[in-house]
Amino acid sequence: MKTDHSTAYVRQEDAPLLPPPRNETGIIGWFNQNILSLINDFSGIGAAIRSVLMAVGTLAILYYSAHILWALIDFAIIEAVWSDPDELKRVVCTTEIAGGIQHNGWHGACWPLATAKMKFLIYGAYPAEELWRVNITGLVLIIGLVCLMFDRMPYRMHIGISMLTIFPVFAYIMLVGLGDWIGLPYVDTRDWGGVLVTLVVALTGIIASLPLGVVLALGRQSNMPAVRYLCTGFIEFWRGIPLITVLFMASVALPLFLPTGVTIDNLLRALIGVTLFASAYMAEVIRGGLQAIDKGQYEAADALGLGYWKSMRLIILPQALTYVIPGIVNTFIGLFKDTTLVAIIGLFDLLGAAQAAINDAGWSSPVQAITLYLLVATFYFICCFVMSRYSMRLERKLDRSNR
Interacting residues with another protein (CB under 8 A): 33-35, 37-39, 46, 54, 57-58, 61-62, 65, 224-227, 230, 236-237, 239-245, 248-249, 252-253, 255-260, 333, 337-338, 340-341, 343-344, 351, 355, 358, 366, 369-370, 373, 376-377, 380-381, 384-385, 388
| Closer residue to another protein (CB): 175 or 250 | 250
| Closer residue to another protein (CB): 123 or 238 | 238
| Closer residue to another protein (CB): 153 or 374 | 374
> Could you write out the three-class secondary structure of the chain?
CCCCHHHCCCCCCCCCCCCCCHHHCHHHHHHHHHCHHHCCCCCCHHHHHHHHHHHHHHHHHHHHHHHHHHHHHHHHHHCCECCCCCCCHHHHHCEHHHCCCECCCCCCCEHHHHHHHHHHHHHECCCHHHHHHHHHHHHHHHHHHHHHHCCCCCCHHHHHHHHHHHHHHHHHHHHHCCEHHHCECCCCHHHECHHHHHHHHHHHHHHHHHHHHHHHHHHHHCCCHHHHHHHHHHHHHHHHCCHHHHHHHHHHHHHHHCCCCCCCCHHHHHHHHHHHHHHHHHHHHHHHHHHHCCHHHHHHHHHCCCCHHHHHHHHHHHHHHHHCHHHHHHHHHHHHHHHHHHHCCCCCEHHHHHHHHHCCHHHCCCCHHHHHHHHHHHHHHHHHHHHHHHHHHHHHHHHHHHC
Shortest CB 230 distance to another protein, Å? 6
Shortest CB 130 distance to another protein, Å? 28
| Closer residue to another protein (CB): 68 or 166 | 68
| Closer residue to another protein (CB): 155 or 381 | 381
Shortest CB 19 distance to another protein, Å? 23
Shortest CB 77 distance to another protein, Å? 18
| Closer residue to another protein (CB): 74 or 140 | 74
| Closer residue to another protein (CB): 131 or 383 | 383
Shortest CB 154 distance to another protein, Å? 33
Shortest CB 38 distance to another protein, Å? 5
| Closer residue to another protein (CB): 175 or 246 | 246
Shortest CB 293 distance to another protein, Å? 22
Shortest CB 98 distance to another protein, Å? 14
